[in-house]
Amino acid sequence: MPKNALLKIDDKEIACPVMTGSEGEKAIDARNLRKDSGYIFYDQGYGNTGSCESAITYLDGDNGILRHRGYPIEQLAARSEFVETAYLVIYGELPTKTQRKKFGDLLRQNAHIEPQMQRLFEGYPKDTPPMAMLASLVASLAGYYPDLATNNFEHDLKQFDLSAAMAISKIRTLGAMIYRHTRGLPFMHPKDLPFCDNFLHLMFSEPYHDYAVIPEVTQALNLILLMHADHEQNCSSATVRMVGSSGANLFTSLAAGIGALSGPLHGGANMAVMQMLQSIHDEHDDGSRFIAAAKGGSKSNRLMGFGHAVYRNFDPRAKVIGEACGLVLKKLGKSDPLLDIAHHLEQAALKDDYFISRKLYPNVDFYSGIIFRALGIPTNLFTVMFAIGRAPGWIANWREVASNPKGRIYRPRQIYTGPVKRDYVPMDQRG
């Protein structure tokens, strides 16, 4: 392995150190390139650029590998649960029994939303997009817990265990409150219940009739949230790091991540997949119309739930969730015609050279909506569910930024393509 990559620019030879990750990934360290050569690299969308060193999640897009702190996602899906995986993603190790209990207790103790903060809902029209509500509500946590959000890393990190548990627990509670608000239902108070059971209680209980816990539902919710826990430097996690790198507190950085996740090319895809499958069902179509439109190349007609910025193979999460769909529906004694349509669409696309040649496979969003729907969660709340699941990954990324003594504010460069220097023209002399 060479120690340096040599760049020959004009008549100069620039040596850039080579970096190697713990799984053997290689990078050219370009941190001195501009100083040494006056050049920058141009990489629109950063698809070939590493913004950080991180120890949280490893992705191998060519081989469909996803590991959190070294543990394969398939093993976590089969043997772990959301809160345990959240602890692993944030703290780097699977929790001992004592650590798991302490973390769970912190989550229960911080499940409520202050009565004064609940009044913020009065300002949202009932048809406000759920992710817009969630982003602003999470940002406002900094106002209700100012001591946890001082924008001073040294101080905020001393409170990290509390602010992390608070963020995970309250994003879950806010998600349920958003559901209730959009339906004009009274808010429920959190109970002394495990994380997922409390979510289902907050969502579906009635004032005088508590939601009856169904183990299969709790198990399915644990699985689907766990599958969303983290995913390397995706658009929303990179956004959390970007905002955190300015010294911004955890809640403010998470609110920015929620904004990034809301886009249809990212977390909004799970809603778009269900809308696509429902259209196919309602039109008694076989999906060929969507596949034909998707091959047109327009970003607005893409086959939602297909393709990925990193995976050039199956998204391992899609495999696990796809297999779980049938099991969850069977355990709940339900069926969903959209699942059959999804399977048919997947098979048709995977035989089509357009998708094969571009290595486009189902991603995490392709099947997740089927499970959310089986759990009684409405489509317009699917991306909020993604945010509840992704909170641990965002928090872990913010902590890496805040804890890095050599960290710098993220400040990408650009190639300027605007007008060259010109002089001011007084109004009366303009065309």
Return the biggest CA–CA distance within the chain.
80
**Is 308 part of the annotated catalytic residue set?**
yes
In the region spanning residues 157 to 176, those forming contacts with ligand SDX, defined by CB under 6 A, are none
Question: Any idea which residue has 């008694």 for tokens?
Answer: 284
Query: With the C-alpha atoms ordered 141, 144, 147, 152, is the resulting torsion angle positive or negative?
Result: positive
How far apart, in whole angstroms, are the C-alpha atoms of residue 70 and residue 57? 7
H or E element at residue 7: strand 4-9
Q: Which stretch binds ligand SDX (CB under 6 A): 81-89, 109-117, 168-176, 361-369?
A: 361-369
Q: How far is the CB of 49 from ligand SDX (least distance, A)?
A: 14
Measured from the CB atom, the residue of 47 and 405 that comes closer to ligand SDX is: 47
The β-bridge partners of 27 are 19
How far apart, in whole angstroms, are the C-alpha atoms of residue 99 and residue 92? 13
**Is 365 part of the annotated catalytic residue set?**
yes
Read out DSSP for 104-134? HHHHHHT----HHHHGGGGGS-TTS-HHHHH
Q: Which of 156, 197, 230, 365 is catalytic?
A: 365
Q: Rounded to 10 degrees, what is the CA torsion of 277, 279, 284, 288?
A: -70
Q: How far is the CB of 229 from ligand SDX (least distance, A)?
A: 9
The β-bridge partners of 287 are none
- Name the H helices within 231-287: 235-244, 250-261, 269-282
When binding is defined by CB under 6 A, the residue of 231, 241, 373, 399 that contacts ligand SDX is 231
Measured from the CB atom, the residue of 302 and 373 that comes closer to ligand SDX is: 302
Report how many residues bind ligand SDX under the rule CB under 6 A.
22
Residue 358 in the binding site for ligand SDX (CB under 6 A): yes
Question: What are the structure tokens assigned to 365, written together?
Answer: 């969003």
Amino acid identity, residue 30? A
Q: Are 211 and 367 in contact (CB under 8 A)?
A: no
Measured from the CB atom, the residue of 203 and 226 that comes closer to ligand SDX is: 226
How far apart, in whole angstroms, are the C-alpha atoms of residue 107 and residue 151? 23
Measured from the CB atom, the residue of 245 and 270 that comes closer to ligand SDX is: 270
When binding is defined by CB under 6 A, the residue of 365, 375, 387, 395 that contacts ligand SDX is 365
Q: How far is the CB of 355 from ligand SDX (least distance, A)?
A: 7
Measured from the CB atom, the residue of 95 and 130 that comes closer to ligand SDX is: 130
Q: How far is the CB of 188 from ligand SDX (least distance, A)?
A: 30
Residue 234 in the binding site for ligand SDX (CB under 6 A): yes
Q: How far is the CB of 420 from ligand SDX (least distance, A)?
A: 31
Query: Residue 414 in 3-state DSSP?
Result: coil
Measured from the CB atom, the residue of 163 and 270 that comes closer to ligand SDX is: 270
DSSP structure class, residue 380: G
- What are 24-30's contacts with CB under 8 Å, separation 24+? 26/1
Q: How far is the CB of 410 from ligand SDX (least distance, A)?
A: 17
Q: Sketch the per residue contact string, 270 through 309, with ligand SDX: x for CB under 6 A, - otherwise.
A: ------------------------x--x----xxxxxxxx
Measured from the CB atom, the residue of 175 and 389 that comes closer to ligand SDX is: 389
Q: Which of 308, 336, 352, 353 is catalytic?
A: 308
Cα–Cα distances in Å, from 2 out to 5, 6, 25, 170?
A: 7, 10, 14, 48
Residue 89 in the binding site for ligand SDX (CB under 6 A): no
Q: Sketch the per residue contact string, 246 through 275, with ligand SDX: x for CB under 6 A, - otherwise.
A: -------------------xx--x------
Query: With the C-alpha atoms ordered 224, 225, 228, 230, is the resulting torsion angle positive or negative?
Result: negative
How far apart, in whole angstroms, are the C-alpha atoms of residue 95 and residue 76? 13
The residue at minimum Cβ distance from ligand SDX is 307
Query: Residue 18 in 3-state DSSP?
Result: strand
Q: How far is the CB of 238 from ligand SDX (least distance, A)?
A: 9
Q: How far is the CB of 244 from ligand SDX (least distance, A)?
A: 17
Catalytically active residues are 308, 365
Q: What are the residues binding ligand SDX (CB under 6 A)?
A: 231, 234-235, 265-266, 269, 294, 297, 302-310, 358, 360, 363-365
